[in-house]
Each structure stands twice: as C-alpha cells, then as structure tokens.
Amino acid sequence: MGNGTARTYVELSSDGVPLSIGVGLSETALAGLPATGTEFALPLPSEVSVAPYDHAVVNWGPTGHPPAGVFTVPHFDVHFYMITQAERAAISPADPQFAAKTALTPAAEFIPAGYNRDPFAIPRMGVHWSDPSAPEFSGQPFGKTFIYGSWDGAFHFTEPMVTKAFLEAKPAMEVSALKLPTRYSKPGYQPTSYTIGYDPAAKEYRIAISGLVRRQ
C-alpha cells in the first residue's frame, strides 16, 4: 500500500481466545498513495479462524466521500467483512434485486443503539449505518469514527474510519467503546470496542475491532 505494506492480524489471549482483529499499515504506507479511490482487500491470517469474520478491506479515499463537510477529507475506511469476497462482489446494481435488498432493514434488535442508515447502498459494500451523535456531525473535525454495514436485511460488516491526518499524528493506541445491538445477525466473535493508534516499536499504524465477545 502506497510506499509500504498493509497486513491483517489477530490478537489472541494466552489460552488462544481471539481478542481483536486488526489491520497494520507500515509507516511508509501513508506516502505514495493513489490519487484516486482504491480498494485493498486483505485475507485474514490463516492460522486462526475468527468466525464470522472472513476478510478485511481498506478503502482509501483521497478526497473522502459524502456527506460533504463531514467525511470529505482524505481517510481510510477499514471494513471487516462477515461475508466472503464472492458474496461482496455480488452486491451490485447488476443484481435485479439490488433495490429490494437495499430497502430491507434489519429488525430493531439487530440495529446498534442510536445508529441511522443511509438510504442508498454502495456496490461491493452495502448500506452504511452511522451514529448521528458522533462529534463529526455536530461541527467538530472528523478524526475517527465507527460505522456498521448491512445488506439484504442483515448486518455484515463493521468499519472503523480514520483520517490520514489522524494517523500521521502518530497517536497512542486508544480504545473506544462501541454502541451495540441487543442481537447479532451472525453468531461468533463480535467487537465491543475499536482501537486505533501507532505502535512505535513496530513503526506501524494499527486499526482494529477489539474487545471481542462470542455472541449467539
């Protein structure tokens, strides 16, 4: 990625229980990035399975994306997907049911507390859900935030978002609690927090879903 590399990792407890799933960007990865929006798809480590998560995708946006004045700054959308790459590729306007699947909203108990959905879907992603009480929606500069995503009536990704400028400041690792649903569309390990920061020993930026708890 850019002039460096990107990788995924899974942090385990001493007895092998998954604690977090993350993406690590080398210090040089933030230089030489493409001038256009680019997707970097990354498999998760093969040594351990952390169901329901299948792979991660880092979407680099050099000019950001709507809404204007909120997310229209250079940033990374770090998606952790609970579907396969083939299933993600099928989220396409070429699907005759695209509009119907976009319109389907998960039942209330599956919706994270306080989150609102976008009215439209993004190909290869789905419908994004954001927290209207997040600081960036009240006039504060966007640095980092957390998004959920659904498709065809079920949540299927979790997404820390972080600006390039926030990472370049090399912040200490910071854990932020998440607003959670009361039920989950897919059983397995789900995050209760997300972690973003810089590891000076590894010279690596790290973005992770953390505080994993097994849900039914």
pLDDT digits (tens, 9 = 90+) for 39-94: 999 999 999 999 999 999 999 999 999 898 899 999 999 999 999 999 999 999 99
Tell me, yes or no, whether 107 lies in a domain.
yes
Tell me, yes or no, whether 164 lies in a domain.
yes
132 cis-preceded (ω within 30 degrees of 0): no
pLDDT of residue 85: 97
Tens-digit pLDDT profile for residues 142-194? 999 999 999 999 999 999 999 999 999 999 999 999 999 999 999 999 999 99
Q: Which helix (H) or strand (E) holds 60?
A: strand 55-61
> What is the C-alpha end-to-end distance of the chain, expressed in Å?
36
Number of compact structural domains in the chain: 1
Domain that holds residue 159: 6-215
Task: Please state, in angstroms and rounded to a whole number, the distance separating the CA atoms of residues 187 and 78.
Answer: 21
- Taking CA atoms, 209 is separated from 32, 40, 61, 62, 160, in Å, by 26, 18, 20, 23, 8
Tell me, yes or no, whether 1 lies in a domain.
no
Tell me, yes or no, whether 113 lies in a domain.
yes
Task: Please state, in angstroms and rounded to a whole number, the distance separating the CA atoms of residues 162 and 97.
Answer: 32
Task: Please state, in angstroms and rounded to a whole number, the distance separating the CA atoms of residues 184 and 120.
Answer: 22
Mean of the per-residue pLDDT values for the chain? 97
Task: Please state, in angstroms and rounded to a whole number, the distance separating the CA atoms of residues 187 and 116.
Answer: 22
Inter-residue contact 177 to 212 (CB < 8 Å): no
Check residue 126 and report its DSSP letter.
B
pLDDT of residue 216: 83
According to DSSP H, which parts of 55-108 are helical? 85-89, 98-103
Tell me, yes or no, whether 43 lies in a domain.
yes
Inter-residue contact 123 to 91 (CB < 8 Å): yes
Task: Please state, in angstroms and rounded to a whole number, the distance separating the CA atoms of residues 23 and 59.
Answer: 12
